[in-house]
Amino acid sequence: MPEVKIFAGTNSQLLAEKIAKAYGQELGKLTISKFSDGELSPSFDESVRGCNVFLIQSTNPSADNLIELCLMIDAAKRASAYKVCAVIPYFGYARQDRKDRPRVSIAAKLIANILTSAGADRIMTCDLHAGQIQGFFDIPLDHLNGSAIFVPYLRSLDLGNLIFASPDVGGVGRARSYAKYFHSEMVVCDKHRKRANEVASMQVIGDVEGMDVVLVDDLVDTAGTICKAAQIVLDKGATSVRAISTHGVLSGKAHENIENSVLSELVITDTIPSTQVSSKIKVLTVADLFAKAIHAVSGNSSISALFIS
C-alpha cells in the first residue's frame, strides 16, 4: 500500500494534530509562507512522491482557507503524490446549493469545481448542509455523519422524555434519523426569514409538553434560529431544551445569543476552531471519526461501519 501522510492547513492545525494522533502518526511537515501582501505559498518539507496524501483544512471564511487548501492540493500533485484527498471537516459555502431566487450563484457547485480542478482525487467531509452537494463532485466523496459523535453523548444523558426537533423544515430528515434511532417522536419548528440570518416568524408543529427536547441542526451561525426555536419550544411546555449541531460557525453575536437563551446547552464539534469560551457550549471532537475514515480509505476498505443506522 502507498505510504499515508497527513498534513494540516493553517485553519485546522489543532484538529489535524488530534486526527494524526488518533491515526497513529505525526503530522507531515508543511510550511505556509506569506508574501507581504498576504499571498499564500505552501511547500512540503518532506517527500510525498508515491504517497497517499491527506490534506486537512476546513473552508469556512475567510476565503484564504479555501485558497490555501487548493494550493496545497496543487503542490502535492506537482510533487508526484499518488493520491490527494482533501479532508474538509467543514465544507464552506454549502448553504448556497441551489438557485432559490433569480441571479444568484450556486456557490457549492463552484467550490466543487475549484477543488476538482486543483487536482483533488477524493473529498472527505462531514455533515454537508445539503446531501445533494455530493452530486456536485465527479470524484469520490466520503460523507461522514456527526451522529457517530452525538448519539453516544445523548445516550450518556439518559433523558427520560426524549423528543427531537428540527429548527426548520429543511432539517426534518436529519431530526427524523435521530428520532428513529432513539425510538422517539419529533416536531418541526417552521420558520420564515425576511433575509439571511434574520428570522421573521416561527411556529412549532407537534406537541412538546413535558418533554426533553433536542434541537438538531447541521450548523449554528448567528444562533438566532436555534435560540428562537428553543424559546418557542419551552413556551409550549417543554421540560428542557438543548441543541446539537456539527459545525459551530458562531459568527456575530452568536455567543451572546446562546448565553442569554433558554438552551441548557449547545453541543458542537471541533470541525471549526473556536476562539471563544461559553458556559453553555460543549465541544466534542471528530478526530477519531476522521482517523478511522482515513484508515479505511487508505486501506481500500468500507467506511459503512462508521455510520450509526
> Catalytic residues, which ones?
191
C-beta of residue 187 within 8 angstroms of C-beta of residue 171: no
Distances (CA, A) of 166 to 98, 114, 216: 21, 32, 6
Burial 182-211 (b: 16+ CB within 10 A, else e): bebebbbbbbeeeeeeebeebebeeebeeb
Dump strand ranges (E) for 49-168: 52-56, 83-88, 122-126, 141-144, 162-166
C-beta of residue 49 within 8 angstroms of C-beta of residue 80: yes
Dig out the grid coordinates for 66 from the structure: 479555501
What's the number of CA atoms in the CB half-sphere (13 Å) around residue 30? Answer: 30
C-beta of residue 123 within 8 angstroms of C-beta of residue 139: yes
Residue 35 CB: number of other CB atoms within 10 A?
A: 8
